[in-house]
Amino acid sequence: MASQDPLLLLRQSIAGGGNIIPTASPDSDEEAPLSTATHLVLTHPNRVALPIDAPTRFTSAEGKAVDLRSIYFAWINRDFAIPEYNAVATKLNEEMAGRASVHMFAFVERLVLFTFLEGASEESEFIKPLPGEKDASTNASAAAAGTASKIVSAALSRSGRGTLDPRLAQIYGGERHMGDRNTVLRGIKPTDFSHVRKLAAVFMTRKPGAPPLAAGIGSGTALSLNQKPARRPDPIILLSPSASSLLRMSNAKQFLEGGRYTPPDHNSSQSMLHVQRLMKDIDPSRPMRFILVEGPEQFKPEYWNRVVAVFTTGQTWQFKNYRWSQPAELFKHVLGVYLGWRGEQPPESIRAFGHRVLTCFVEKWRDPSQAGAETSRWRDREVVESIWKAIEVNMRAKGWRKDAAPTSF
């Protein structure tokens, strides 16, 4: 049925701003990793759970039906360029280890898919028509021809009752029916061509020295041919470079993404890494990518607008090259985070920084080979969730939105 068509349901949910959640069962509303999810739950206009491996009407260039997981994965990564998209798709396929795989869309396929999901188009060579619509073009051409015969039939059926002369009905039967604007220009259903304005804008930019164009055409807001749409920058988290810090580049990803603490590897030479996190109160449709670095040496001045958290051990030398080198001033603008061992008091300097520094504690590390070493590690996830919640609240207060970042503090 059309009402249960995955493509249409997904498009309706996107248009209505509803939540789209991968889950491990049809009755659950708890988000599951895309690699292990079994269903995709849509909350708008009504809650519906679709099997995530269900084939859709979208067919690849090779003629194969593309599954719902691939469609959803391409949508949440729509801002990525083709090389970045292929990289994250390859990573997801490795995580699924042969149980399933996502289709890697070619450029034209992605363009057609996004145009359809955004509601700018209805038909495409890659999208099969719904049952009952495949003969739409035939019906449109037959509509005009059938109208004349209907008039003749109606006229003849009324003749003899004093309402229409049979000779007049014969004249009506010889008329050429022109149809209306929908049947002649657009087929049997209206089509929205408003998206053409966006496509044409790049060709209507006024050249230097050319006379002004009409109002609304070729204005300064039109994109140049080589200009890409503005993209929300990635937020930045600064880690402490101190050797005594419990969180370093070598273990930050496993802790902040996986929710499990392991000791840092002090021989690691990483200078930057990325972690992803779904910030539901900012952008519920796709995870945000965070950049983690241990120092601002490569910063441009505007990068400080993107710093959302600073991990510190309380040693003030860490802030020497910061935009705000005094802790009192720094933590007025940026959230501070201290991570220590449970059962130990934080340093006096951390307590002096005040409430602007979030103080968190993890269980002391024990060798996993020891009995009971893993029994207390479940608390790590609680600590991670409290850190992310504080970062999200701070980001919203600073002006982070689904499609925009703060431009100044």
The yes/no answer on whether domain 236-398 falls in CATH 3.30.540.10 is: no
In 3D, which of 336, 341, 339, 342 has the Cα closest to residue 355? 336
| pLDDT at position 290 | 95
Three-class SS of residue 270? Answer: coil
- Kindly tell me the burial class for residue 81, based on how many C-beta atoms sit within 10 Å of its own C-beta (0-12, 13-18, 19 or more): exposed
Residue 184 confidence (pLDDT) above 70? no
Number of CB atoms found within 10 A of residue 66's CB: 21
pLDDT at 57: 92
Query: Rounded mean pLDDT of 373-385?
Result: 85
Q: Which of 363, 357, 388 is nearest to 376 (CA)?
A: 363
Pairing of strands 307-311, 288-293: unpaired
Cβ-proximal residues to 360 (8 Å cutoff; 6+ apart), any chain = 337, 338, 339, 340, 383, 386, 387
pLDDT at 215: 43
Q: Which pLDDT score is estimated for 126?
A: 87
**CA-to-CA separations, 116 to 83, 111, 121, 135, in angstroms, rounded:** 22, 9, 5, 20
pTM of the model: 0.46
Domain residue ranges of the chain, discontinuous segments joined by +: 2-117, 136-185, 236-398
Quick one: pLDDT at residue 409? 60
CA distances from 193 to 129, 180, 197, 312 (A): 19, 18, 8, 54
Q: Enumerate residues 6+ apart whose C-beta is below 8 A from 52.
A: 22, 37, 38, 39, 40, 67, 68, 69, 72
What is the pLDDT, as a whole number, of residue 212?
A: 52
The predicted structure's pLDDT at residue 214? 44
Using 50, 70 and 90 to split pLDDT, how confident is the model at 136? Answer: very low
Residue with tokens 């070493």: 373
pLDDT at 229: 53
Convert the pLDDT of each residue in 252-273 to its tens digit. 999 999 999 999 987 877 889 9
pLDDT at 223 over 60: no
Please write the tens of the pLDDT for every residue from 284-297: 988 999 999 999 98
Going by pLDDT thresholds of 50, 70 and 90, the confidence category of residue 158 is very low
Per-residue pLDDT averaged across 344-368, rounded?
Answer: 89
> What number is the average pLDDT over the span 227-231?
59
pLDDT tens by residue, 192-205: 677 787 778 777 76
pLDDT at position 314 is 92
